[in-house]
Structure 1
């Protein structure tokens, strides 16, 4: 059985790391009804140390094309008919991927799928009819249907694209084609237009007279009156014909010509549609551009980029309920949503007004509300029940403080709030699945209202029922067709260990389906009998496993793709520790990389790595997306460094309070956590407080700035890579969650942006800036450099990367970047 070391850290932990390590024992699952321990650490990954310790880890090797690690499986899934498991691997000496497939009976004997058969294994959409007879799917520009006979029929090849596939209750296939939704009878091939729409002024047969003269003309001249009546009769006749004769398609629905479509969907029974529109405002201005200097023609190209949060304007959506039988449309009001007109930012606005010597009065104006379409959420926000008699919509407030799940009362033509998730900071949209059970009018959804993302069921007229509970995160829920189970992943055993579970929707009993320790994800086969697993460990990239979708079988490993060269290297094996926090009730989980005999000799130099994305988890026991950094840290350890990689506050995996600690003060809690990390290194890992550096990219670059600028004695050197320097210049989707918007909350932006603290720089600073970064603009670094020049700072350097986007691509750029980082530490530590 896999082994992991666990223990509770006592309050005020001090002393050597060896004193913190308990005897190895299996990590046990924390029952749903109990809270996880406050601090579990340290954890030793259950991997064997391999590799030749005489080999030297070099930057040239670890920053070269990562194909040398082995070509790991990616994008796992199932063939269209569900009979074979499918995954991809990068083609040797190419950026392209090849697709591989294997039967469940012989899962380790995968073969490469020929291009001629690729449409049977990969798809962009896949839907099944309610009775299971038909499977429809879209591949590239074609739509196929697996018939009950087993025949694979190609419905389209090119032409007008069909997308957003759904089956109707009568087994017709629905699809959107441009500005219309059609239904296709798979037996006869007959196509019917269910709805169409256009954004234009609706033509009128007759209109009201514009003035007195026109009114008198109509009443006095019989010829004019007759022409008006004839026109109206023709329109009435056409409307009646469309309603009574199936050979005629109904007229399109007209919407304001200044609007655009957000979503359109028809109920499975074909009776009702939901259309969502919004004002057609451009999010790009003339100055939202980025120059790209290195082009084939030797000229400069100008790329369009997103607008800044400082330029964001409030926006609402309009939801239309369409009766397809009567051909009528009704706007649904948000008045029924609890809190629809609360002034949720009143305190923030009052604080900012006071800073300007003004006063603010609370208002009760309706808030800007629309379909959920956030930074993290890209799933459909309108969900029909299979029977077509119910529909649920997920809505968000533009101010990010509320998320509603509402159903629609078709008779009353109104929204009915089923669940309101409010957060005084911001709502977490990452763990946010919702929908209907198949065989009852019961909603399931995820909510973070207890502080952790969990699963809930809501039956009509009843209070929500929790299916999971505890201090852990639930993710990736999948409901079985019989509604008996919901499969999911969770970090129950330890914040850094993710396993696969399923919960019974009736009893609420959860069952652990894997015990692999590390990071494990799953894909449930279409027949719901088999789990395809992707599992990784801290020193091992992901490999694939299969197991029966029950508790009675063990996973079987089916891929072995890691290269011999990678296995031969003497990688450091980090432990996951819990650093006591001086500012929070929970510890700060971190990976610590320790050289052999680290307690012996003079105090050592150390580096703290700051991960990017802000809301990301890296102190886990699986393979990290920061694999180059893992290898770089191993190189530093081989040279005697100690390395710490912290999941500072704002990181994912630790619940709502950890996430929202940075609300309106980005960079303050995190730097406090970094100071706790420095203290831990000094007290437990024989580190010299005067020889510690830090580095990180994106959010990690921002945090490097904040540490060096606001706590100058903390680090002796820092490298900020592709860094944010002023949050007013970042995007709306991410930043407005945490800092509101600059027009509403300038205090938060000035408090959280490094450019306002640049005068605090004392230690050595390296700024590495890619020039074609459409995420964090190159301008961020340019403005800060100018600020440092004006402040007459001397101890900083800047490196630019002319062809690199936010995530570097060229191995030569990676090598150059990390040579500079390494030189910074070697010179200053």
Structure 2
């Protein structure tokens, strides 16, 4: 029997010096080190076990059902976490007291409302905490649980006011609970309607004559007018009535709204209500009724037109509304796409003349960002707003001058490519009118603070690493955060003392580590994994050098016995830039012996994703597939090509207006590395990947036809004009402005380059990358009389497959492709 330490990884130390590509005048340099510790997990592997496709593509329950969502109990004595129910899509909640042993106990359904929540909301002295369970509001006080609502209406976003009341929302109604008398009162109600007005005599000759000649019509007019005036007088003189509703106009949609802790002001953003495009449908051929269903889906980037937003300040003391102008924002009217427009005009034989343009601006709220872009200071007198231009080139942080009813710019982040959808955390220090925020302006995501009267922001962290997920303590002593300081693929927890500026490393683990600070701010709940160890939960005191205690151990015995190969993380030298391409390499034990090997390069999806880090991969099926290939003598490489997450702004934006060019250059370098360092035969290398990885497979086989001998493109993008707006417009602008970028980046324009066998696997109910992408590309290949391809369709599968039989079929086909052609 062979014993190995589960978390121990082999690291290549070649080229592990990473120099900043920051835009600052003075470059920042960070030398990576691997002085990290491993979580002790000694498993007994059986070297005689041979992986099978049936096992690794089976329902993943066999891995052990690892912890999913997890949060602290309100008193910081225990942790609650979700775990998939075996053989079911349902999830159960477990309670794991810190002082207990084992994986904890199942929480009964009758007690779910007592657990608390991931985000507890505290009053000023932290004597009360509020949360929402199943749409109802609960409050904890002195160990007692008070249920404030019991309704089929959904309530959300509880917040304490400075006067002690708790406000919660029901839709866009703001309702306050008074602990002194137990009453609920509506303090604001937002309506997407026109405000009611006193009846007026219709204009026009016929209407006026009607009122003059017909007494009944005139009487009705008088009655309606008197009724309206009576209602207004009653509201003014009777304090028992709720405040008048706030009308934002018919045909408007509320994007977000936020109430001041002082209860005096409310800020909201609205936009024009857009109707659905009836063309945006997806046929579903396998339905329960037997009919073909036309399911609604998201619009294409070619069709989507973002609506600019109005930012409105409401004074709840008198009900007045004031639109906050964006004209104070630096660059609000710059023609930031002038160069792009000029290039495209020249291609059409035209000349573009730049001019000032009023840019479309709104809150930094999108499908990929769950935080609110409206942040009140705890004193209720200051509001910070995070705004973005819909051309994706600017992000602003501004404060609201409540007295002057205007925006005060505080920070502008401009990027000629696009502003990242990640690294936009921001907020207020609790005890001073000082903002903290993340910014990529140095080339890497770092922490900054800025007082309202300061001219410039103060940079708190520096280096060629990325800071994420900042968490502020209630007394402003520390900012906790995650960063990959020691190595691009190793994430640990740090904290910054705001008074001294001193940074402390709190965890020193090999792999990927996420954290949640306990409610008493004394402990860290950690979700830690390595390349060979799926995520488990741990706890440690929130201080440097604290001992680590494992809370869950869910890995199955079947998994523990597998003789898995830990990938090496190597730095592949780049022939196209000064920075290496960090990559995982899976090597058979005897790879240097005998004739040159077969090899496969895997292309991860999402584009902006990191898969050559040292944590457990979301591509766990691919991880097992790569181990199966290694058992059969293959060498496997998994590259974090340019555009991947974890390596800074310049790495991310290398694909701006040229998707599929830098990444394929990196694949060329990967092939060269394999040939020179891993005893690989250049003529026996294949590639595959899904989603963005499928797009890359297309581009590699079409634009570099001799690089790979075969490729499999799974759920692939073939034409970016058909993909969604939030993702695609960041990188390629929009087709009406920048058709050059779309034609340069879309595989369908390069199909004539296909010379080697191509497998296209396409799910038919994919509402992310539409089946239409494959249909159009296949028709293009047919018309070009290209025969080096075959297509497999999956009628019931969405973008991420759900059925084990589909996974098995797909990977059997991929394996067959490589076996036949490599």
Instruction: Report if TM-score (shorter chain) is over 0.5.
Output: yes
Separation (CA, whole Å) in 2 of partners of 1:347 and 1:702: 27
Counterparts of residues 397-412 of structure 1 (less than 5 Å): 397-412=389-404
Q: 1:208 to 1:355 in 2, by over 3 A?
A: farther
* Cα deviation digits, residues 585-638 of structure 1 (max 9, x gap): 211000000111211111111000000000000001111001111111011111
Which of 606, 620, 624 lines up with 1:613 in the alignment? 606
Separation (CA, whole Å) in 1 of partners of 2:819 and 2:757: 12
Residue number in structure 2 paired with 1:728: 721
Q: Does 1:633 align with 2:599?
A: no
Residue number in structure 1 paired with 2:453: 461
* Cα deviation digits, residues 751-793 of structure 1 (max 9, x gap): 0000000000001100000011100001100111111111111
For structure 1, which segment, 255-264 or 446-455, has the greater mean C-alpha deviation from structure 2 after superposition? 255-264
Separation (CA, whole Å) in 1 of partners of 2:547 and 2:746: 50
Question: In 2, are the aligned partners of 1:49 and 1:573 still within 8 Å (CA)?
Answer: no
Residue number in structure 1 paired with 2:710: 717
Separation (CA, whole Å) in 2 of partners of 1:124 and 1:573: 34
Separation (CA, whole Å) in 1 of partners of 2:236 and 2:404: 23
Question: In 2, are the aligned partners of 1:33 and 1:469 still within 8 Å (CA)?
Answer: no
Q: 1:221 to 1:721 in 2, by over 3 A?
A: closer
Q: Does 1:413 align with 2:405?
A: yes
Residue number in structure 2 paired with 1:19: none
How far the C-alpha of 1:9 sits from its partner, in A, is: 3.3
Residue number in structure 2 paired with 1:66: 60
Q: Does 1:579 align with 2:572?
A: yes
How far the C-alpha of 1:365 sits from its partner, in A, is: 2.2
Residue number in structure 1 paired with 2:734: 741
Q: Does 1:251 align with 2:244?
A: yes
For structure 1, which segment, 117-126 or 628-637, has the greater mean C-alpha deviation from structure 2 after superposition? 117-126
Question: In 2, are the aligned partners of 1:409 and 1:415 still within 8 Å (CA)?
Answer: yes
Give the root-mean-square deviation of aligned CA atoms: 2.9
Residue number in structure 2 paired with 1:434: 426
Q: Does 1:624 align with 2:617?
A: yes
Residue number in structure 2 paired with 1:348: 340
2:807 counterpart SS class? helix
How far the C-alpha of 1:558 sits from its partner, in A, is: 2.1
Separation (CA, whole Å) in 2 of partners of 1:295 and 1:4: 46
Separation (CA, whole Å) in 2 of partners of 1:352 and 1:239: 58
Separation (CA, whole Å) in 2 of partners of 1:220 and 1:387: 61
Separation (CA, whole Å) in 1 of partners of 2:475 and 2:80: 25
2:670 counterpart SS class? helix
Which of 470, 475, 499 lines up with 2:468 in the alignment? 475
* Cα deviation digits, residues 145-204 of structure 1 (max 9, x gap): 1133x2212222223322121111112111111332111112312122211122223222
Residue number in structure 1 paired with 2:328: 336
Separation (CA, whole Å) in 2 of partners of 1:247 and 1:46: 65
Residue number in structure 2 paired with 1:773: 766
Residue number in structure 1 paired with 2:690: 697
Aligned residues: 809
Separation (CA, whole Å) in 1 of partners of 2:36 and 2:512: 17
Residue number in structure 1 paired with 2:149: 156
Question: In 1, are the aligned partners of 2:480 and 2:495 still within 8 Å (CA)?
Answer: yes
Q: Does 1:9 align with 2:3?
A: no
For structure 1, which segment, 457-466 or 762-771, has the greater mean C-alpha deviation from structure 2 after superposition? 457-466
Separation (CA, whole Å) in 2 of partners of 1:373 and 1:765: 39
Question: In 1, are the aligned partners of 2:49 and 2:562 still within 8 Å (CA)?
Answer: yes
Residue number in structure 1 paired with 2:184: 191
Q: 1:446 to 1:165 in 2, by over 3 A?
A: same
Residue number in structure 1 paired with 2:23: none
For structure 1, which segment, 592-601 or 238-247, has the greater mean C-alpha deviation from structure 2 after superposition? 238-247
1:523 counterpart SS class? strand
Question: In 2, are the aligned partners of 1:478 and 1:486 still within 8 Å (CA)?
Answer: yes
Residue number in structure 2 paired with 1:787: 780
Q: For structure 1, which runs of at least 5 residues remain unmatched after alignment? A: 14-31
Counterparts of residues 422-571 of structure 1 (less than 5 Å): 422-462=414-454, 463-571=456-564
1:311 counterpart SS class? coil
Question: In 1, are the aligned partners of 2:7 and 2:39 still within 8 Å (CA)?
Answer: no
Question: In 2, are the aligned partners of 1:5 and 1:42 still within 8 Å (CA)?
Answer: no
TM-score, normalisation: structure 1: 0.93
Question: In 2, are the aligned partners of 1:543 and 1:560 still within 8 Å (CA)?
Answer: yes
Which of 52, 56, 76 lines up with 2:50 in the alignment? 56
Separation (CA, whole Å) in 2 of partners of 1:168 and 1:94: 43
Question: In 1, are the aligned partners of 2:522 and 2:542 still within 8 Å (CA)?
Answer: yes
Q: 1:218 to 1:366 in 2, by over 3 A?
A: farther
For structure 1, which segment, 711-720 or 130-139, has the greater mean C-alpha deviation from structure 2 after superposition? 130-139
TM-score, normalisation: structure 2: 0.94
